[in-house]
Chains A and B, each alone.
Chain A
Amino acid sequence: MDALLQSLIQGVLLGGLYALIGIGMSLIFGIVKLTNLAHGDFLILASYISYSVVAATGMNPFVSLIVVIPVMFAIGYIVQNTMLNRVISKGAEPPLLVTFGISIVIQNLLLYYYTADARNLRSPIATKSIIITDGIRIPYIYLIGFLVGIIVIVALGFYFRHTYQGKAIKAAADDREVAQLMGVNIKSIYGIAMGISMTTAAIAGVLVGMIYNFYPTSGSAYLVIAFAVVVIGGMGSTYGTLAAGILFGLAQVMGAHFFGASAQLLTGYVVLLIMLIFRPQGLFQR
């Protein structure tokens, strides 16, 4: 019984982190109508930037976010404005291909600067847990990941609902052409949206870097998680992404609980496949 409860808790907490991994990709899908194939690589890029900051200053990886977030926001804004906005009017495929190119370039840049060695952002907190009973322990880092995931998603919801820039982004997501006629500078809005997406990638990148080892090619694994969460949640739906992250996390951990650790990824992807077949529009699509 304890073991099941432990798995449930772990699944939900993991889900918050998954939502954080997917939310930036979901935003860009919803606003720019673009599947950012480089999302996972950007996330890992943030892990490496944090790694360098930590190595240079000795600061805690969490604190490094005061550097990593602005850097990632700027990267997002610049990439959108100098590359993606150029091809955005040429149909759906050209921007998709550009993100694929960006993905490969990031991976190879990381390989060049950091070699293929495993890195991590371990800090003492990564191994500590809150002990509830003998059988139930809540690892701090997962709890933090979960809470940060929720805070980020609620903050984004607030931003879209209550700021005038957020409303312009919502309008642009709803109807790009009409938003332009309302005086919204669509390219600048897309740049800001990508900056926000990269901000979430920065936070997710630092968190996963504190939990798992990473390599220049690790981005692909996170792209798959992000993709799963975005598909299950319904492309572009903020709170759907949160629910989807938790569902996906639970599916994985429950799979591991009932069928053994090696089944964790498999059960997650089986759930994803079932979703794709029966509800391609996502569970929570309005």
Chain B
Amino acid sequence: MSTILEVDNIHVAYGRTKIIPGLSFKVEEGQVLGVIGPNGAGKTTLMNALIGLVIPTEGKIIFDGMDITKLPPDKRCHLGLGRTYQIPRPFEGMTVYENVLVGATHGAGRTEHKARPYCTEVLKRTGLYEKRDTLAGQLTLLDRKRLEIARALGTDPKILLLDEVAAGLTDAEVHDVMDLVAELKKTGLTIIWIEHVIKTMVESTDKLLCLATGCLLRYGDPKETMNCLEVQEVYLGVDEE
């Protein structure tokens, strides 16, 4: 197995507020890396740095053997990084299909003609095909979460970054989303998966990384990470929904 992503001692700040004071880890191709940590730990910030919305002040991000630390988000998308938002941000005035089409053409470099069957496949896989002509602004939360994933898949990613896809969903809906992620894993996609529902994370990830105030508390086997004392302390008093 080869390393597809290497994060090397990155420091991330919003303006003067330092959020991540030096963080390193590696992700192997085809693996699912879970990222857990309490609210405000810097999970979304880490994702923003990986995707290029914020540029680390120090350190390097190597993707597929290439230094992408300073690349803008659209270039990273072309290389194969896709993400979802914790709070879905669909293009509300466009249909579900068009939402996926934008990334499938501009992100994956397909012509519209070639993108069409691909979009259809992605929509079927994410359970949105029946709603392809619905305006994205009219979707339920579950479908918006699905659209986040569909849109990211449309760009043909090598790594998919999921930011709390299960947050805000009912138990049954969480199950749906978990199944979808499991399906995606089978296709060999590398996934970095931020989530708060810890129980499921242990079952469905290959490696688990725990963040607290921007620092790496523990990184390794999911069960070992969960059983580690520091991690348990961080989660003490936090409900395991």
List the one stretch of A66-74, A80-88, A135-143, A181-189 in contact with chain B. Answer: A181-189
Interface locus among A15-23, A116-124, A164-172, A210-218? A164-172
Quick check: is B179 within 8 A (CB to CB) of the other chain?
A: no
Instruction: Tell whether, in the assembled complex, residue A183 and residue B106 are in contact, meaning their CB atoms are under 8 Å apart.
Output: yes
- The yes or no answer to A2 lying at the interface (CB within 8 A) is no
Whether A164 and B101, one on each chain, are in contact in the complex, defined by CB atoms closer than 8 angstroms, is yes
Closest to A186 in B: B74
Q: Contact between B93 and A182 (Cβ–Cβ < 8 Å)?
A: no
Sorted from nearest, which 3 A-B pairs have the closest CB atoms?
A183-B107, A182-B103, A183-B77
Task: Determine which of B77, B82, B89, B102 lies in contact with A167 in the assembled complex, contact meaning CB atoms within 8 Å.
Answer: B102
A183, B91: Cβ atoms closer than 8 Å: no
Tell me whether A183 and B93 are in contact in the complex, defined as CB-CB below 8 angstroms, given that A167-B101, A168-B102 are known contacts.
no
**A181-B83, A183-B103 known; A170-B91 Cβ under 8 A:** yes
A175 part of interface (Cβ distance < 8 Å): yes
The 13 sampled A-B contact pairs (Cβ below 8 Å) are: A164-B112, A167-B102, A171-B102, A174-B94, A175-B89, A175-B91, A177-B53, A179-B102, A180-B77, A182-B107, A183-B103, A184-B74, A184-B107
Cα A186 to Cα B94 in complex, Å, equals: 18
**Total count of chain B residues near the partner, CB < 8 A:** 29
B190: which A residues are within 8 A, CB to CB?
Answer: none
* B103 / chain A contacts, CB cutoff of 8 Å: 181-183
A interface secondary structure, majority: helix
Which of B83, B103, B112 has the most chain A CB within a 10 Å cutoff? B103
Q: Which residues of A contact B151 (CB under 8 A)?
A: 182
Chain A: which residue is nearest B103 at the CB level?
A182
CB pair B112 A178 closer than 8 Å = no
Contact of A182 among B72, B85, B106 (CB under 8 A): B106
- What's the Cα separation between A167 and B100 when bound, in Å? 11
Q: Are B89 and A168 in contact (CB under 8 A)?
A: no
Q: Is A90 an interface residue (CB 8 A)?
A: no
Residues of B within 8 A of A182 (CB): 77, 102-103, 106-107, 151, 154-155
With A and B bound together, what is the CA distance between A254 and B154 in angstroms?
53
Q: Nearest-CB distance from A189 to chain B (Å)? A: 9
Which of B51, B72, B91, B151 has the most A CB atoms < 10 Å from its CB? B91
Residue of A nearest to B108 (CB): A183
Which residues of chain B come closer than 8 Å to A180, judged between CB atoms?
Answer: 72-74, 77
In B68-87, the 8 Å CB interface with A consists of: 72-74, 77-78, 82-83, 85
User: What is the bound-complex CA distance between A102 and B74, given in angstroms?
Assistant: 29
- Pair B92/A181 contact, Cβ less than 8 Å: no
Contact of B92 among A174, A179, A183, A185 (CB under 8 A): A174
Report the bound CA distance from A167 to B154 in whole Å. 15
Selected from A177, A184, A186, A286, the residue in CB contact (under 8 A) with B102 is A184
| Chain B residue at minimum C-beta to C-beta distance from A179 | B102
CB distance A167 to B94 under 8 Å? Answer: yes
B77 touches A181 (CB 8 A): yes
Interface string of A172-204 (1 = CB under 8 A from B): 001101111111111000000000000000000
Q: A178-B85, A181-B83 are in contact. List 14 more A-B contacts (CB 8 A).
A: A164-B105, A174-B94, A180-B72, A181-B77, A182-B102, A182-B103, A183-B74, A183-B77, A183-B107, A183-B109, A184-B74, A184-B106, A184-B107, A186-B74
Is residue B98 contacting chain A, with contact meaning CB distance below 8 A? Answer: yes
Closest to A162 in B: B112
CA distance A286 to B85 in the complex (A): 24
Closest residue of A by beta carbon distance from B79:
A183
Question: Inside 8 A of A174's CB, which chain B residues have their CB?
Answer: 91-94
